[in-house]
Amino acid sequence: MSLLKSRRLWLATAIAATLIASAAGAADVDAATTTPLAAAPTSPPASYPNPGTVTGNTGTHDPSAVKTPAGGYIVAYTGANIQLKTSSDRTAWRNAGAAFPSGASWTLPYTGGSNQLWAPDISYHNGTYYMYYAASTFGSNHSAIFLATSSTGASGSWSNKGLVIETTTSSNYNAIDPNLVIDASGGWWLSLGSFWTGIKLVKINPSTGLRADSTVRPIAQRTGSSTAIEAPYIFRHGSYYYLWVSFDLCCRGASSTYRIMVGRSTSITGPYTDRNGTAMTSGGGTQVLATHGSIHGPGHQAVLADNDGEVLFYHYYANSGASYLGINLVGYDSAGWPFVY
């Protein structure tokens, strides 16, 4: 509880710093080179790469990305009434307003009156943009995940489709950090969870985008002294479903210890195991990216299939303590385990 509370209490400060940094064009970000468009390597680099080049308004927290039918990009992220950014080339980004510029009154019972909405997950299916997002209060698992849809993805175009799942203070998990995944058979699923007993999976009705049944399936949990696991993202590559998560603590600026971990399964419902064969429900996870140099606490990741390969989006903290958008390409080694380059 105290770790999660620390995370949420820092968030308001982080968002303010992010907006300031974004307006300044992310001048504090270290320079990095963009990987040329080529076949993905099969051997990881000798050390963690810096984020690829991004320019413009890059201050971001908890990003999720979608490619539009026209070939551009939308990033949705934590902020006042969910914040949006757009890009035509995945490099230059601009602010694109709030998803709900008039507010989201239906979330207020969960946010204590705050307009700060968390960890949106944006995707595009059958001509419609879907966005799952969380509403909660600092340090509490009295939380809810809602769904909104849009035909354009633009600010002000999003319609509330209702409550998907909620937790109360008597629940043993937390209904935040949603991610929609479609399995190989066309089934829809939503992963979610933060701290407590970890990451869960619920089935979604594709016709409504809401829950299809009442079953909550456990798929990952930290064991031992820390319960710090959150931000699940499931991505299918080859014959595996890869469960990406963030371990440890975000939202502490340059002192953040977030790190990106992964496990995999041949079934959407698990069991997910790491490279060593340890179940993710028993604390397993293979590290993919962590603090290095002036890149602090990379995490809250999302994976996007693009023309040049699979792309990892995430946030990280600069030395100043502000959070920025990080983008790298994803490769797979000879054993099928992902790395970033």
C-alpha–C-alpha distance, residues 78 and 254, integer Å: 19
Amino acid at 283: G
3-state secondary structure of 109: helix
Cα 106 to Cα 32, 77, 152, 318: the distances in Å are 42, 19, 22, 34
C-alpha–C-alpha distance, residues 4 and 301, integer Å: 18
C-alpha–C-alpha distance, residues 228 and 220, integer Å: 11
Partners of 237 in beta bridges: 240
Nearest to 259 by CA among 223, 280, 288: 288
Nearest to 166 by CA among 153, 158, 175, 179: 175
- CA dihedral for 270, 130, 143, 321, sign (positive or negative): positive
- Per the CB < 8 A criterion, the answer to whether 242 and 235 are in contact is yes
Nearest to 262 by CA among 285, 293, 231: 285
3-state secondary structure of 329: strand
Q: Return all residues near 284 (Cβ < 8 A) that are at least 6 apart.
A: 220, 263, 272, 273, 274, 276, 277, 278
**Could you give phi then psi for residue 4, rounded to 5 degrees?**
-65, -40
Q: Which listed residue (121, 177, 230, 248) is catalytic?
A: 230
- Per the CB < 8 A criterion, the answer to whether 247 and 194 are in contact is no
230 catalytic residue (yes or no) = yes
Give burial (CB, 10 Å; 0-12/13-18/19+) of 298: buried
C-alpha–C-alpha distance, residues 260 and 115, integer Å: 28
62 catalytic residue (yes or no) = yes
Residues recognised as catalytic:
62, 230
